[in-house]
Amino acid sequence: MRSTLLPLAAFCIAITQRAADAGCTLTASGGDDAPQFLNAAQTCDTVVIPAGETLDIQTRLNMTGLSNKNFNIQGTVRFNPDIDYWTGNAFFIPFQTQVTFWLLGGENIVMNGGGTLDGAGQAWYDAFASNSSLLRPIIMTVFQAENVLVENIRMINSPEWHNLVNEGQNIVYSNITIHAESTSDNFIANTDGWNVYRSDNVTIKDSNIVNGDDCVAFKPNATNVLVSNLDCSGSHGISVGSLGQFPGMFDIVRNVTAINVRMSNAQNGARIKAWAGPNVGSGIVQNITFENFIVDDVDNPVVIDQCYMTDADACAEFPSNTFIQDIFFKNISGTSSGATVASLACSPDGRCSDINVDGLEGLSAGSGKRAFKCQNVELQGESADLFPECTDTSND
């Protein structure tokens, strides 16, 4: 493939100003490669970064409004960790006060090639350890995009989240390898694999993630999302939420399936979290299925926390206004790290309904006596009997 594209590349350099139908091959300039990458994204249908090349991105990448592009990344795109530059220059994303190196948007975009997006996170992990208000950029934000396929790509050491899908439709990630690792004592904090926000019809499949926070998180207004065949290690799990955090906002997460997931050395397996307490928002979580999970050394394999960040008294006084319904935990097996294997804690006053548990008998405790915990919820399904607190009608 390279050999046929190389002649095109030379041709492309001559015609980039007037034609948009040729492949363009980029090689490292020795300085900031952002300008040539941006220019190629505007003017070439196919942008090739050959194997062995590393583009050094020193300034932000606004690639919004593209159409019919193929990014064939065989080499590496590395984001220079000049913290002084990125502070104030990374694109700001109001939701949860995020920033990003790269906005990629438009329609009919394919990114593939087997190459690497390198967040060069170590400098960020170290800086964040002494400055917890440092805003650390997301590597790639798919923003206002439709029909995007990202496949066969490695992402390493993002300073913070690796991916955000923000206002996207028909977005697919396939065969993505994510690996965040610190070489110092400072943790790889908040290095989520994916966050899906205000987006519909998103698939994340056949991928391998080693990170330090959520493997995949479904944030407000994520609908029709499929997660399948993931291997997540070191993470905080596959999470819906946290939702209902911001007063005046209404958060919806509907029609999500997470199936065939291996979760190891993690805080959670399958999780739903929603805020309660005074001065929070509201919302609905509906029709969520977590199916065929195998856990290994996971603190809490099955979780609903509808009193997220709220103590029991405040949660009793101000139950969550984010309602949770039609939830299916199916065929989840393996070993937790401690005694708890499931914890389904809802706010009082019927804020959870139609919570189904099936095929949870294969969960075992890593230590102590295995505990299936729950509160303020009536469970349905074949495994409901495993939860003594919630099958006893005197609980009402």
Ligand X SMILES: *[C@@H]1O[C@H](CO)[C@@H](O)[C@H](O)[C@H]1NC(C)=O
The yes or no reply on residue 260 touching ligand X (CB under 6 A) is yes
- Structural contact between residues 96 and 166, judged by C-beta atoms closer than 8 angstroms: no
Residue in 39, 54, 68, 87 binding ligand X, rule: CB under 6 A: 87
Tokens of 62: 């606004």
Q: Please, which of residues 311-340 interact with ligand X by CB under 6 A?
A: 331
Quote the least distance from Cβ 394 to ligand X, whole Å.
32
Interface with ligand X by CB under 6 A: which range of 26-34, 39-47, 248-256, 267-275?
248-256
Interface with ligand X by CB under 6 A: which range of 146-154, 157-165, 339-347, 364-372?
146-154
The yes or no reply on residue 154 touching ligand X (CB under 6 A) is yes
d(CA 236, CA 222): 19
User: Which segments within 276-350 are labelled E, that is strand?
Assistant: 282-308, 322-336, 340-345
The yes or no reply on residue 370 touching ligand X (CB under 6 A) is no
- Structural contact between residues 118 and 79, judged by C-beta atoms closer than 8 angstroms: yes
Q: How many of the chain's residues bind ligand X (CB under 6 A)?
A: 36
The yes or no reply on residue 205 touching ligand X (CB under 6 A) is no
Residue in 17, 97, 133, 393 binding ligand X, rule: CB under 6 A: 133
Residue in 42, 54, 108, 147 binding ligand X, rule: CB under 6 A: 147
Task: Indicate the residue among 15 and 149 with the shorter CB distance to ligand X.
Answer: 149
The yes or no reply on residue 258 touching ligand X (CB under 6 A) is no
CA distances from 376 to 96, 302, 314, 387 (A): 29, 16, 15, 12
d(CA 47, CA 16): 11
The yes or no reply on residue 381 touching ligand X (CB under 6 A) is no
Residue in 108, 177, 186, 208 binding ligand X, rule: CB under 6 A: 177
Residue 236 annotated among the catalytic residues of the structure: yes
The yes or no reply on residue 348 touching ligand X (CB under 6 A) is no
Quote the least distance from Cβ 243 to ligand X, whole Å.
9
- As a dihedral over the C-alpha atoms of residue 17, residue 18, residue 21, residue 26, rounded to 10 degrees, the angle is -10
Comparing C-alpha atoms, which of 42, 101, 41, 43 is closest to residue 73? 41
- As a dihedral over the C-alpha atoms of residue 224, residue 230, residue 232, residue 238, rounded to 10 degrees, the angle is 20
Task: Indicate the residue among 287 and 356 with the shorter CB distance to ligand X.
Answer: 287
- DSSP helix/strand/coil, 195: strand
- As a dihedral over the C-alpha atoms of residue 130, residue 133, residue 139, residue 140, rounded to 10 degrees, the angle is 170
List interacting residues with ligand X (CB under 6 A). Answer: 62, 64-65, 87, 91, 114, 131, 133-135, 147, 152, 154, 170, 172, 175, 177, 198, 201, 220-221, 223-224, 249-252, 254-257, 260, 287, 292, 294, 331
